[in-house]
């Protein structure tokens, strides 16, 4: 039997940051330009909110982490040497700030915060999708969840994720491997639409 | 190595490539390798479909509600506090660390106070000349120029500008960012008009005007 070959051409591209503009903004930030700083903040707020929302659902922790991240960006912008993408650098800072914030708020975040009653979304299809996806993802360790989010939402390569998470490429591959194996069992919805129950 | 081993190794390699081809970050060689493998491996083709669905589901899931405007206003306040020196370098200190710092500061203040008492008692009979760093000028110098600097100017740029014009900050910045300046050399108090004209032509200065002699407010 020949399998159907599927190519990724049919998917929406991952959000690609305008790296030249971001490097220019970061240089202005390094010179103390508040307007450039605000531009950079605005451009990243949604992306970081989305990424951090996979680690905790508590809005106050997410906003605090985003502000901690940009506090570091404000102070360290002059140290950026262009050895990675600006997005990789900023999301790496956010990841480390998130780990610290989650440790500070241990017990009130992470997996427990994925309980449906805390999500507070609009009811409907999105809520249902969020429920089964969130329920599946909450069983993954934070590192595996982050790896999936960075690969599938943010669209980072394996090497970029290794930079962000400060680990080896092999570790990223291993985390992705284990996340996939667990989700195969946890998310039957992924295999197809639910079967119609017989009356 | 047997053909079976080769086949298994290819299958493992292809299986590992799937997420990076799905998210579009794999290189051309990896994409070609996987495409060839998928044509012959139903398991990997099914896994490719599953990972593609997972990616779509993750990208469509709703982010938590958050307010960028209010969050940024808090960060801006934090930056303003840092600029004006009203706050420690990082607010993420634990309660224990803050308590420790408070105790150290309290102890230091006590030592200084005790030293002061002892020094005063010991020096009564033979008073010594004691000068602090700030005691050189007891009369505040009047400001002669009001200026608003470019917000993009960093600390080093501001220092270079002031040193270049041999000016000192007497007061400010106000809420509107206005600095009150005076020549470092009192002999140049009469050169205000020339200094203002030179400041106005400087790229780092948004606004400059002389201060009337009767006014000393920034």
Query: Are the beta carbons of B57 and B70 closer than 8 angstroms?
Result: no
List the structure tokens of B124. Answer: 């009564």
Mark which residues 52-91 of A lie under 8 Å from B by CB: 53, 57, 59, 62-63, 66-68, 70-71, 74
Phi, psi of A46 (to 5 degrees): -65, -45
Judged by a CB distance cut-off of 8 A, whether residue A168 touches chain B is no
Mean pLDDT of all residues belonging to chain B: 75
d(CA B66, CA A65): 12
Helix, strand or coil, per DSSP, at residue B180: strand
Mutation target to probe the A interface, by most A beta carbons within 10 A, among B11, B39, B71, B153 is B71
DSSP B215: -
Tokens 């202005």, residue? A28
pLDDT digits (tens, 9 = 90+) for A52-98: 988 888 899 999 999 999 999 999 999 998 888 999 999 999 999 99
Q: How far is CA A60 from the centre of its chain?
A: 17
Greater pLDDT, A183 or B125: A183
Least confident of A155-169, A174-188, B91-105: B91-105
Tokens 């997972």 label which residue? B54
Per-residue tokens: A93: 């800072």
- Contact: B16, A13; criterion CB under 8 Å: no
Could you read off the pLDDT of A93-146 as tens digits, one per residue? 999 999 999 888 775 444 434 333 333 334 444 555 556 777 788 889 999 999
* pTM listed for this prediction: 0.58
Distances (CA, A) of A111 to A57, A138, B60: 9, 5, 20
**Three-state SS at B147:** strand
- Angstroms from B186 CA to nearest CA on chain A: 32
Distance CA B87, CA B121 (A): 36
List the single range of A71-85, B8-22, B122-136 with lowest mean pLDDT: B122-136
Q: Do B58 and A129 touch (CB under 8 A)?
A: no
Sign of the C-alpha dihedral computed for residues A65, A70, A73 and A74 taken in this order? negative
A18 or A126: which leads in pLDDT: A18
Among the partner residues B39, B44, B79, nearest to A2 by beta-carbon distance: B39
pLDDT band at B29 (very low <50, low <70, confident <90, very high): very high
Planar angle of CA A150, A156, A158, nearest 5 degrees: 95
Higher pLDDT, B181 or B45: B45
Q: Is the pLDDT of residue B192 over 80?
A: yes
Distances (CA, A) of A147 to A109, B35, B195: 18, 24, 59
CA distance A171 to B58: 22
Question: pLDDT class for B132, splitting at 50, 70, 90?
Answer: very low
Q: What share of residues in chain A are helix, strand, coil (percent, to 5)?
A: 70, 0, 30
Instruction: List, for residues B69-118, the tens digit of each pLDDT value.
Output: 999 999 999 888 877 765 444 444 444 455 555 666 666 666 666 666 55
Check whether B28 has a pLDDT greater than 90.
yes
Give which of A32, A125, A161 to mutate to test B binding, by max B Cβ within 10 Å: A32
A2 has pLDDT over 60 = no
How many alpha carbons lie under 13 Å from residue B41 in its C-beta half-sphere? 21
Per-residue DSSP letter, A81: -
- Checking ipTM against 0.90, whether it exceeds it is no
Residues B87 and B21: their CA atoms lie apart, in Å, by 48
What percentage of chain A carries pLDDT values higher than 70?
Answer: 72
Distance CA B110, CA B100 (A): 15
CB A159 within 8 A of CB A169: yes
Of chain B, the percentage scoring pLDDT greater than 70 comes to 67
pLDDT above 50 (res A197): no
Asked whether the bond before A66 is cis by omega within 30 degrees of 0, the reply is no
pLDDT grade for B182, boundaries at 50, 70 and 90: confident
Of A14, A34, A46, the CB nearest to B151: A34
Is the Cβ of A39 closer than 8 Å to some Cβ of chain B? no
Q: How far apart are CA A38 and CA A45, in angstroms?
A: 10
What backbone phi and psi angles, to 5 degrees, belong to B38? -60, -30
């Amino acid at each position: 039997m020949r399998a159907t070959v599927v190519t990724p051409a049919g998917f929406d591209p991952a959000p690609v940051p305008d790296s030249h503009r971001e490097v220019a903004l970061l240089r202005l930030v390094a010179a103390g330009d508040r307007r450039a700083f605000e531009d950079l903040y605005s451009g990243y707020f949604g992306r970081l909110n989305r990424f951090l929302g996979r680690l905790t659902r508590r809005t106050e922790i997410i906003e605090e982490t985003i502000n901690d991240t940009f506090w570091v960006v404000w102070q360290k912008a002059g140290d950026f040497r262009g050895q990675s993408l600006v997005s990789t650098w900023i999301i790496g800072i956010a990841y480390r700030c998130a780990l610290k914030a989650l440790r500070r708020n241990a017990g009130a975040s992470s997996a427990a915060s994925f309980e449906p009653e805390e999500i507070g979304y609009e009811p409907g299809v999105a809520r249902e999708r969020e429920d089964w996806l969130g329920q599946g993802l909450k069983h993954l360790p934070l590192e595996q969840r982050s790896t999936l989010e960075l690969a599938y939402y943010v669209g980072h390569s394996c090497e970029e994720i290794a930079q962000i998470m400060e680990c080896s490429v092999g570790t990223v591959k291993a985390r992705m491997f284990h996340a996939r194996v667990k989700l195969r069992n946890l998310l039957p919805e992924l295999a197809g639409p639910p079967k119609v129950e017989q009356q | 190595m047997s053909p079976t081993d080769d086949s298994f190794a290819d299958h493992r390699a292809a299986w590992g490539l799937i997420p990076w081809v799905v998210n579009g970050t794999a290189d051309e060689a990896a994409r070609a390798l996987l495409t060839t493998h998928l044509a012959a491996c139903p398991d990997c083709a099914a896994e490719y479909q599953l990972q593609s669905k997972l990616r779509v589901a993750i990208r469509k899931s709703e982010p938590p509600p958050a307010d960028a405007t209010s969050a940024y206003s808090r960060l801006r306040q934090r930056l303003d506090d840092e600029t004006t020196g009203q706050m420690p370098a990082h607010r993420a200190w634990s309660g224990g660390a803050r308590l420790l710092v408070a105790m150290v500061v309290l102890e230091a203040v006590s030592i200084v106070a005790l030293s002061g008492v002892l020094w005063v008692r010991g020096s009564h009979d033979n008073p010594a000349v004691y000068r602090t760093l700030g005691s050189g000028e007891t009369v505040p110098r009047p400001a002669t120029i009001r200026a608003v600097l470019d917000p993009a100017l960093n600390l080093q740029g501001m220092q270079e500008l002031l040193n270049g014009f041999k000016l000192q900050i007497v007061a400010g910045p106000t809420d509107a960012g206005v600095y009150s300046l005076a020549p470092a050399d009192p002999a140049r108090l009469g050169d205000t008009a020339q200094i203002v004209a030179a400041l106005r032509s400087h790229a780092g200065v948004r606004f400059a005007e002389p201060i009337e002699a009767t006014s000393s407010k920034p």
